[in-house]
Structure 1
Amino acid sequence: MSEHSWMPSSPCGDRCIPRSAESIRRIGVVVRAASALFAIGLVPLLILIGLFWPRVRSGAAIIGARVLLAAVGIGLRVEDLRSDREASRTRNGSLVVAGHVSWTDILVLTAIRPARFVARGDLVEWPVLGLLARSMKVIPIDRGRLRALPGTVDQVSATLRDGGSVIVFPEGTTWCGLAYGSFRPAMFQAAIDTETWVQPVRLRYVDSFRDRTTTSTCFVGDETIGRSIGRIFRLRGIVAEVALVAPQAPGHDRRDLARRCEDSVRADDVHDRRLHPINERVDIDPKATFTRR
């Protein structure tokens, strides 16, 4: 994969993964694996239900994601901090943005509100998540091909224009959860072009035994998806905490929109600069890559 100035990168690696996380016994891992296989087997059925009864499609996706999340062993806690008026602004479609820690983020966010995802192109080939990704019609992004970026933004715009919702991880890559990267502005152009409100989401994983943010679920460094799944299956007491905060108006400047959403998502976070450096905000010349509608 070729690199360029836009290429997202993270300094997080194996050292970010705690060695003393609470774990379950082998029999528990077997039970979780069996539960996950059962949940995966339900996905085609849920897809068929969605095809024949579109009105229950969203509910079917939520059920599938929650069953898989439970099989993985991650609890879910959701807090809606929006007023009724704020919530109504994203009821008929929105660009949803969140920080990116792990492949489990997809399960967590789908368990709350199903939407299309912008995700790495090889996601459909992954075990467990591949089938879910195909059923959700993931919008693939090739981070190594800068020229393909405008086409991805156009696909996001088309979905938003049709009244759908799209989930984007603007950091462009995963971080450990105690350190994080800046929100890249590129994908926010789709919200501006379609005059769509943006829904920022605060997402963190908590070790319920220590009552603090944990990096146990992070998918960083050279770890393979198989090793990550096996490691996360053994964790105990992990809860995904999600907070829905006030939506942001699209405005006219994607840099400003990205900054507002990042500030909203990171309002309660304290980045330890001794742990990792903070990436500089990087943008692309809009005249070279985007055409205003």
Structure 2
Amino acid sequence: MKSSATTSVATRCGRVLRLLGHLAVGVFIIATRYSRLAQAERAVVTRRWAQHALKILGVSIKVQGINPGFYPPNTLLVANHVSWLDIIALNSCTVSRFVAKREIRDWPLIGWLAYVAGTLFIDRGNRRDASRVNQILAEAMQNGGCMAVFPEATTSDGSGLLPFKASLFEAALLAGGTVQPVSLRYQRPDGSLLLEAAYIDEISLLQSMGKVLSVPEIEVEICYGKPLKAGDAGLDNRFLLAEAARAEVARGLRLALEAPAAAASQATSETGA
């Protein structure tokens, strides 16, 4: 049964103040020494920062499946997209560099933080930009990186799963890497779906943060699906990889999908990254 309990004004204000302080710490680290750290050291710092941010927000993590490691090499992590919290939740377990829409680069402070932390920005209105990003992704993966994308290309309320855009799965094929499907489900302690976490429709980031701050306890179930080796039989093109990854994410969300579409059909109907 859905709970109607909300946090007090004092609790929300306390969370905001602590979160601002924690954000200031992150800005200081990135501005002063983050670029000088080795990748493994960056991963440790990022995971610790993410874990503490979730603690401030009253968010706990429940892991299902086998975590591939806190920074698995030559890996493309793909997940469903629900909230701005997704990146923090994922980084608290498996640290990745993310691909984000170009508009985020222009966000005050957050855009700069994302850029300095290694986020790649893609112009989703330009299909040709996917080729550029794929080359960068593949090179980073071959150099031992763990990269992450949200192939739905937008957020949902978490109750379903949108079609996956196949474009950026090409990077895994170019790198000869592994695609790691991950399912994200926001729920209350009793297991019921938590819609307040969804960053959807026309609400602003501040409005979305207000909704999250109003919830006493949030549980994020992170389910790691079966790793998919790009190039293996049945996974030798980006459309088959996207289809297999979506099936794994749906399984983690306990959703039933429609019958898989043929790869050729997907190729002709795909409209973006």
- TM-score by length of structure 2 reads 0.84
CA distance in structure 2 between the partners assigned to 1:198 and 1:155 by the alignment: 16
CA distance in structure 2 between the partners assigned to 1:143 and 1:182 by the alignment: 15
2:244 match: 260
Task: Judge conservation of contact 1:61–1:110 (CA < 8 Å) in 2.
Answer: yes
Query: Structure 1 stretches of 5 or more lacking a match?
Result: 1-18
Residue 222 of structure 1 pairs with residue 206 of structure 2: no
CA distance in structure 2 between the partners assigned to 1:99 and 1:143 by the alignment: 17
Query: Structure 2 stretches of 5 or more lacking a match?
Result: none
- Quote the RMSD (CA, aligned, Å): 2.8
Identical columns (%): 24
CA shift, 1:116, in A, is 1.1
Task: Judge conservation of contact 2:73–2:141 (CA < 8 Å) in 1.
Answer: no
CA distance in structure 2 between the partners assigned to 1:77 and 1:268 by the alignment: 12
Relative to structure 1, is the Cα distance of residues 266 and 170 closer, same or farther in structure 2, using a 3 angstrom cutoff? same
Q: Structure 2 residue aligned with 1:235, among 207, 215, 218?
A: 215
**2:248 partner letter:** S
Task: Judge conservation of contact 1:160–1:194 (CA < 8 Å) in 2.
Answer: yes
* 3-state secondary structure, aligned to 2:219: strand
Residue 142 of structure 1 pairs with residue 126 of structure 2: no
The Cα offsets for residues 249-293 of structure 1, whole Å up to 9 and x where unpaired, read as: 1022111111111111111445599xxx99x898556xxx9xxxx
Residue 59 of structure 1 pairs with residue 39 of structure 2: no
1:73 match: 58
The Cα offsets for residues 216-254 of structure 1, whole Å up to 9 and x where unpaired, read as: 200111111121112211112211111222210102211
Q: Structure 2 residue aligned with 1:105, among 59, 62, 86?
A: 86
Residue 29 of structure 1 pairs with residue 12 of structure 2: yes
The structure showing larger relative contact order (alpha-carbon pairs under 8 Å, at least 6 residues apart) is 1
The count of corresponding residues between Structure 1 and Structure 2 is 259
CA distance in structure 1 between the partners assigned to 2:109 and 2:218 by the alignment: 19
CA distance in structure 2 between the partners assigned to 1:147 and 1:242 by the alignment: 32
CA distance in structure 2 between the partners assigned to 1:271 and 1:265 by the alignment: 9
CA distance in structure 2 between the partners assigned to 1:231 and 1:78 by the alignment: 24
CA distance in structure 2 between the partners assigned to 1:109 and 1:268 by the alignment: 15
**1:24 partner letter:** T
CA shift, 1:20, in A, is 6.3
CA shift, 1:195, in A, is 0.5
